Structure 1
Amino acid sequence: MTSQDIIVRSTSVLSIQSHVVHGYVGNKASTFPLQMLNWDVDVLNTVNFSNHTGYGSLKGDCASGEQLLEIYNGLKQINVQYNAILTGYVHGFDTLDAVGKICTDVKDRAESANKEVLWLLDPVMGDEGVLYVEKDVIPVYRTILDTQKVDIVTPNQYELELLVDQKITCLQSLKKALKIFHEKYSVKHIVLSSLFAESFEDLEGGQETIYCCVSSIHLPEKLVLFKIEKISGYFTGVGDMFSALLLDRVTKTGDIIVSVSEVLTIMKNVLTTTKNLGGVSGKIGNKNMKDCELRVIEFLTVQFL
Structure 2
Amino acid sequence: MRHQADLPSHVGNTMAEFVMQSLGCEVAALNTVHFSNHTGYRQFKGTRATAQEITEPYQGQCQSNLTDFDVMLSGYAPSAAAVEAVGAIGIDLQKKAENKPGSFFWVLDPVMGDQGRLYANDDVVPAYEKTIHHADLILPNQFEAEVLSGVKITSLSTLAEAITAIHRIYSVPHIIITSVQLLKLSQSGSTPSPPENYLTVIGSTTRSNGSPRLFRIDVPALDCFFSGTGDMFATLTVARLREAVDAASPDLRNTASWVSPNDVEPSNLPLARTTIKVLSSMHSILERTMEARDAELAAASSLNGDSRGAGKARLPASHKSS
Question: Do these two structures clear the TM 0.5 threshold for a shared fold by scoring above it?
Answer: yes
The one of 178, 188, 192 equivalent to 2:177 is: 192
Alpha carbons of 1:56 and 1:204: their partners in 2 closer, same or farther (altered >3 Å)? Answer: same
The one of 227, 236, 239 equivalent to 2:230 is: 239
The one of 130, 133, 137 equivalent to 2:117 is: 130
After TM superposition, the structure 1 = structure 2 runs for residues 18-97 of structure 1, keeping only pairs within 5 Å, are 18-20=9-11, 26-80=12-66, 81-97=68-84
Alpha carbons of 1:163 and 1:281: their partners in 2 closer, same or farther (altered >3 Å)? Answer: farther
Supply the distance in 1 between the matched residues of 2:214 and 2:296 (Cα, whole angstroms). Answer: 35
Give 1:296's aligned residue.
none
Which letter does structure 2 place at the counterpart of 1:137? V
Contact 2:167 2:212 in 1 (8 A): no
Alpha carbons of 1:277 and 1:173: their partners in 2 closer, same or farther (altered >3 Å)? Answer: same
Contact 1:196 1:207 in 2 (8 A): no
Which letter does structure 1 place at the counterpart of 2:197? E
Give 1:230's aligned residue.
221
**Structure 2, unaligned runs of 5 or more:** 246-269, 298-311, 314-322
After TM superposition, the structure 1 = structure 2 runs for residues 259-278 of structure 1, keeping only pairs within 5 Å, are 259-278=274-293
- Asked whether 1:176 is paired with 2:161, we answer yes
The one of 194, 198, 210 equivalent to 1:209 is: 198
CA RMSD of aligned residues (A): 2.2
Give 1:248's aligned residue.
239
Return 204-213 or 191-200, whichever deviates more.
204-213
Contact 1:178 1:220 in 2 (8 A): no
The one of 3, 7, 12 equivalent to 1:12 is: 3
Contact 1:233 1:280 in 2 (8 A): no
Supply the distance in 2 between the matched residues of 1:130 and 1:269 (Cα, whole angstroms). Answer: 30
Deviation of 1:205 after TM superposition, in Å, equals 4.0
Q: Secondary structure at the match of 1:111?
A: coil
Deviations along 1:227-280, one digit per CA (max 9) or x if unpaired, are 122111111111111111111111111111111111110010111011111179
Contact 2:9 2:77 in 1 (8 A): yes
Deviations along 1:6-38, one digit per CA (max 9) or x if unpaired, are xxxx11000001013xxxxx1111111110111
Q: Secondary structure at the match of 1:261?
A: helix
**Structure 1, unaligned runs of 5 or more:** 1-9, 21-25, 283-290, 293-305
Deviation of 1:57 after TM superposition, in Å, equals 1.7
Which letter does structure 1 place at the counterpart of 2:219? I
Supply the distance in 2 between the matched residues of 1:259 and 1:206 (Cα, whole angstroms). Answer: 23
Deviation of 1:132 after TM superposition, in Å, equals 1.9
Deviations along 1:134-179, one digit per CA (max 9) or x if unpaired, are 1211111110023xx3111111111101111221011111111111
Supply the distance in 2 between the matched residues of 1:170 and 1:207 (Cα, whole angstroms). Answer: 17
Alpha carbons of 1:115 and 1:142: their partners in 2 closer, same or farther (altered >3 Å)? Answer: same
Supply the distance in 2 between the matched residues of 1:204 and 1:152 (Cα, whole angstroms). Answer: 27
Give 1:295's aligned residue.
none
- Asked whether 1:143 is paired with 2:130, we answer yes
